[in-house]
Amino acid sequence: HTGLGQLADAVADCGRARALDPAYYKASVRLASLMMELRRPENAQGLLEPLVKAGAQSGGAGPGPEELAALKERLSEARAAVSWQKTPHHYKLLGLTNTCNEDDVRKAYRRLALKHHPDKAMSAVKVALAVPGAAGAAPYGGPLAGGSELETRVREEAAWLFNFINQ
């Protein structure tokens, strides 16, 4: 999605990946990169700090030594950017250029707000987990299927994205 300028969709994908598997640190790393691209270094810093702490303490579950060094470098970049980057890049999140008119902004905002509403989050995850195959395929029946804990995490990530779009 990033290459197509659909950063809100990329952020949503990262949020869903984090909700489905909180131990999958690469989703948080990607989300931190997107936050830096959207000029939100404080969010990137908040995502990277727990990863660096967990990576330093974990034996092999987290990032390797090379990845940990790269995470520390990204974290220092985010900390440095917090002091001088004050204006987020709202147009980039909406997939627009700075030269667009007010109607384009309203349309893009409305489209994203409807697409990424928290009430639709669980249905999007169920569709993403559906096993490809015959018509009427059953949803994924692995360890992530069902459960109120998964639904809670998905709704929290979707609510965060919805509030992020509204800012």
For the stretch 31-79, pLDDT in tens is 999 988 888 888 888 888 988 888 766 655 667 778 888 888 998 888 8
Distance CA 26, CA 37 (A): 17
The b/e string for 64-90 (b: 16+ C-beta within 10 A; e otherwise) is: eeeebeebeebbeebeebeeeeeebee
What pTM, to 2 d.p., does this model score? 0.67
For the stretch 86-126, pLDDT in tens is 777 778 778 888 888 999 888 988 888 887 777 777 776 66
User: If we measure between CA atoms, which residue out of 127, 130, 165, 125 comes closest to residue 149?
Assistant: 125
Distance CA 29, CA 34 (A): 9
Name the amino acid, one letter, at 125: V
